Structure 1
Amino acid sequence: MKLVVFGANGPTGRLLTQQALDEGHTVTAVTRRPDEFPLTAPQLRVSGGDALDPAAVARAVAGQDRVISTLGVPYTKEPVTTFSQGTRNIAEAMSRHGLRRLVCVSSIGVHTDIPPEMTFLFRRVVGPVLLSMGRSVYEDVRRMEQIVRATDLDWTIVRPSGLFDTAAVSDYGVMVAPQRVTGMFTSRADLADLLLREAVDDRHVRACIEVTTTQGTPNYLKVFVKEALHIGG
């Protein structure tokens, strides 16, 4: 299958690209910095382009079978349009070229409420601070979800929790919205695996799903410090 991955040079995008290549798929990896993309393979094409550039998006989408978006930006106080405008360009290019299947990464942060089963410290301190820090990002993610829902594409929106790194895919949990997952973290390996499964196997078409890792999760205070200091991606 021919897959195109937007945001391919991010941590999740690289994992997803490698997993897809390992399974024998042909991948077009779209990144603003193609010279820095670390992966190579006979069935890999690295396409330089920005999701905010409609012409670059159209070139990348043409001739593909499925589209996966792992677009992301760090927390910022400045207005964010990467998710909404980038995804609008992707959806329009897909419609123009006759593609149907779109899988895109959202965030559990689209929820303004914090589940009561979370710890007191998380509900009263960590969660509210993270939601405040990421306000402009989450606002644009909500706009992105609205844009995707309004299309006639066969879409799936995937909402991970706090992202962290692991060496392998685990037995992660998935829930279909409006049901809520209870975990606080999602490994990037699990997220990448789910994105690939959704795109290739046509699972959860026209649905929002939440994913959490249930094994080997980190200390949330360490993750909180990492996010607060803008360290890593």
Structure 2
Amino acid sequence: MRRIAVLFQGEGSGLGDVGKHVVNQALKEDGLTVRIIAEDPQDVVNVASVTPIDISDEDRETKLELRAVCIDKETAELEEALDGVDAVVNCFGNRQPGMPRLMGVGAANIVQAMQKQDIKRLVTISSVGAGDSFPPMPWSWYGTLFSCLMRTIIKSARKDLDLLESAVENSELDFLIVRPTGVTPTFKPTGTWKLMKANTAETVGPEIA
């Protein structure tokens, strides 16, 4: 039985709904169990939200594990929580104004814990506009607006995203960094994707996520 860990900051964080989609999809897979790691994992599972965790009582007992860890602070506990995990999906953090900026330090702790547990595969959620994708979608009004926000109101989020990506890219992990343009919780997953090879209008727009 394979096991993945999905890491959250907590209910109400910017990436919480993304992580719940990951959990729901993973729970549908045969031979796969999910370990949710968050400061309050019960909150992630039980609180009603736009994207609830969809699981039967039977599967809750056999396919879902909960581990309480403050990912940005408790490094030893995080390492222990990753014991026996085959891959990690990092949805820890947010880019909303007024929220604590923990993605950089969280990613550094996650990378360190994975290396100590000899876990190779990491998928981490970042954002369009991070790293070399800035300025995002310069051909569109959405990209122009988001660039302004990343230079002003959420400037700290852009810096935090860059720290996250740097921690992952400088590791020796087998990693995938996903930079969605925006994931609206009310939209259901389509099961499709498109690889954006260049920051040009011939690729994707804000509706892709």
Alpha-carbon distance, 1:173 to partner: 1.6
Preserved CA contact (<8 Å) 2:18 2:183: no
- SS across alignment from 1:171: coil
State the TM-score, normalizing by the size of structure 1.
0.70
Decide whether aligned partners of structure 1 residues 11 and 79 sit closer, same or farther in structure 2, where only a CA change above 3 A counts: closer
Q: Does 1:34 align with 2:41?
A: yes
Residue number in structure 2 paired with 1:86? 106
Residue number in structure 1 paired with 2:50? none
State the TM-score, normalizing by the size of structure 2.
0.77
Q: Does 1:72 align with 2:93?
A: yes
Write the mapping of 1:189-208 to structure 2, written as runs, cut at 5 A.
none
Residue by residue, what CA displacement relative to the aligned partner does 1:132-172 show, whole Å, maximum 9, x if unpaired?
Answer: 22210110110111111111111111111022131242433
Write the mapping of 1:60-209 to structure 2, written as runs, cut at 5 A.
60-76=81-97, 80=101, 82-110=102-130, 111-119=133-141, 122=142, 126-131=145-150, 132-165=152-185, 166-176=187-197, 179-180=198-199, 181-185=203-207
Which of the pair is proportionally richer in strand? 1
Q: Provide the C-alpha distance between the structure 1 equivalents of 2:77 and 2:172, rounded to a whole number of angstroms.
A: 22
Residue number in structure 2 paired with 1:20? 26
Quote the RMSD (CA, aligned, Å).
2.1
Q: Provide the C-alpha distance between the structure 2 equivalents of 1:171 and 1:162, rounded to a whole number of angstroms.
A: 15
Residue number in structure 2 paired with 1:2? 3
Residue by residue, what CA displacement relative to the aligned partner does 1:70-98 show, whole Å, maximum 9, x if unpaired?
Answer: 11224235772x11111111111111111
Alpha-carbon distance, 1:64 to partner: 0.6
Q: Provide the C-alpha distance between the structure 2 equivalents of 1:90 and 1:160, rounded to a whole number of angstroms.
A: 21
Q: Does 1:48 align with 2:68?
A: yes
The percent of aligned pairs where both chains have the same amino acid is: 24
Pairs aligned (count): 181
Residue by residue, what CA displacement relative to the aligned partner does 1:108-137 show, whole Å, maximum 9, x if unpaired?
Answer: 021432434214xx455x234422222101
Alpha-carbon distance, 1:34 to partner: 2.2
Regions of 4+ moved over 4 Å: none
Q: Provide the C-alpha distance between the structure 2 equivalents of 1:115 and 1:56, rounded to a whole number of angstroms.
A: 39
